[in-house]
Structure 1
Amino acid sequence: MTSPTPPQAAARERAGEPGLATTVALYTLARLGLLAVVTVVLALIGVPWLVALLVALVVALPLSMVLFRGLRERLDRAIAASTARRSSERASLRAQLRGDVGPPPSPDTPVAPASPSAAPSAGASPSPAAAADGAEGSTGSDTASPAGDGPAR
C-alpha cells in the first residue's frame, strides 16, 4: 500500500506551505530564541543568570503570543491539514478492511486485467477480502445456521 504523501508534499510546495515537522521546528526555535534574547538582555542589565532565565520563562510566553501570531496560525493550519489527511487515510483504510472498496492501485505495479481463467498459484496468499471472509467463518459469526442449532440471533 502506498502513502499519499508525495502528491500532498508537491501540493504543499506549490502552495508555499512547509510541512508539519518543519513548522513545529521553526516555531520551537523561535520560542527558544526569544527565551535566549530575554535572558541575555536581563543578564546584561545585571540580573543573575538563573534569575534572568526564570524571569525570561515567564516573560517569553505572553511576548511570543504577540510576536509569533503568524507563525502560530501557520502551525495551526499545518496541524489541521495533518489531522484531515490522517482521518481521510483512516477512513480509506477502514473502508478497505470492510471490503467496501478495493485497495488503491500501486504506482509501481502495472494493473493487469483480471481474467476468469487466471487461477491463483499454490504459493499465492489469498486476497484480504477472502482472508476476512475465512476469518469470519472461523469466529462463528455465520448468519446462516441450521434451525436446530439453538435460538436465532
Structure 2
Amino acid sequence: MSERDETAIPAKAPVGSTPGARLARNMMFYTVLRLLMVVALTLVIIGIGRLAGVDVPVLVAAILSVLIALPLSMILFTRLRAEINSDISAVDAGRRVKREDLRRRMDEA
C-alpha cells in the first residue's frame, strides 16, 4: 500500500455509532413496534367482537388493524421517525462525500 492509500482509509468507528448502523437499528425497532401494534390491535378487535357476540374473522381484524395502525404509528412514533429521517440524511451525505471524493480522485488519475 502506498502512503496515499493509507491516508485515504478512515478510522473505524465503534459499532453502532455510524449513521448506517443507527439507521438499521432504528428501522428494525420501528418495524417491530409497528408489527406488534398490528398484532395487538388485531387481538383487541377480535376481543371486542367476541364481547359483542360477533365472530370477527382474523383476516378482517388484521386488515382493520393495519388501517388503524398506519395513522396511529405516525402519531405515536413521531420521534423515532424523525431519528430515522436524520439517519437517512446522514447516510446520504456520507455517500455524497464518498462519491465526490471518488470523482475527484478519478479526475486526478
Query: Is the shorter-chain TM-score for this pair beyond 0.5, marking a shared fold?
Result: yes
Residues 100-119 of structure 1 aligned to structure 2 (within 5 Å): none
Offset of residue 4 of structure 1: 4.1
Offset of residue 78 of structure 1: 0.6
Offset of residue 3 of structure 1: 6.0
Looking at structure 1, the residues matched to 9 and 59 of structure 2 have their Cα atoms a distance apart, in angstroms, of 47
* Structure 2 gaps, min length 5: 50-55
* Structure 1 gaps, min length 5: 100-128, 130-153
Correspondence 1:35 to 2:48: no
Superposed CA offset, 1:53-106 (max 9, x none): 01001100000011000110010011011000110011111101111xxxxxxx
The alignment's C-alpha RMSD in Å is 2.3
Looking at structure 2, the residues matched to 90 and 39 of structure 1 have their Cα atoms a distance apart, in angstroms, of 46
Corresponding residue pairs, total:
95
Offset of residue 20 of structure 1: 1.3
With structure 2 as the length reference, what TM-score do the two structures score? 0.76
Looking at structure 2, the residues matched to 5 and 56 of structure 1 have their Cα atoms a distance apart, in angstroms, of 46
Correspondence 1:94 to 2:103: yes
Q: Share of identical aligned residues, percent? A: 36
Which residue identity is paired with 1:50? L
Looking at structure 2, the residues matched to 5 and 22 of structure 1 have their Cα atoms a distance apart, in angstroms, of 22
Which is higher, the Rg of structure 1 or of structure 2? 1
With structure 1 as the length reference, what TM-score do the two structures score? 0.56
